């Protein structure tokens, strides 16, 4: 059965919760729609995080990013939403999402949203 886009982020137990280590996801093919024109916006999404008790399961992350393909979202909103959703799913020590959006109308947009556990 083929996979479908999903907002459901799956996690698994951190295999080394006592060690602070960094995980990087690099997704150079992110797509959403411009909420004003309906035209596709393309971006390179990078996620860096230091897990606490849970790690993000990679396939669910891919399906999660895919779920934005037909949604209208401003660059700032979608980058912050991805950050919020990943934090809600994993409660990491640190998480940073960078949305590097391709040039449109001569302007490139880079948005970075960061979370640090208090």
84 classed as catalytic? no
Q: How far apart are CA 51 and CA 71, in angstroms?
A: 28
Q: One of 26, 32, 34, 52 is an active-site residue; which one?
A: 34
Q: How far apart are CA 101 and CA 22, in angstroms?
A: 24
Among residues 67, 101, 97, 62, the alpha carbon closest in space to that of 82 is found at 97
Torsion angle of the four alpha carbons 27, 31, 35, 40, in this order, in degrees rounded to the nearest 10: 140
32 classed as catalytic? no
Q: One of 32, 41, 83, 100 is an active-site residue; which one?
A: 41
Q: Which residues are catalytic?
A: 34, 41
């Amino acid at each position: 059965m083929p996979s479908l886009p999903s907002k459901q982020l799956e996690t698994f137990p951190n295999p080394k919760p006592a060690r602070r280590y960094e995980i990087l996801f690099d997704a150079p093919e992110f797509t959403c729609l411009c909420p004003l024109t309906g035209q596709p916006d393309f971006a390179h999404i990078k996620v860096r995080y230091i897990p606490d008790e849970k790690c993000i399961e990679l396939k669910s992350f891919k399906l999660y990013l895919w779920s934005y393909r037909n949604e209208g979202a401003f660059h700032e909103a979608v980058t912050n939403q991805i950050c919020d959703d990943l934090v809600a799913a994993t409660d990491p020590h640190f998480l940073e999402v960078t949305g590097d959006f391709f040039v449109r109308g001569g302007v490139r947009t880079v948005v970075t949203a960061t979370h640090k556990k208090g």
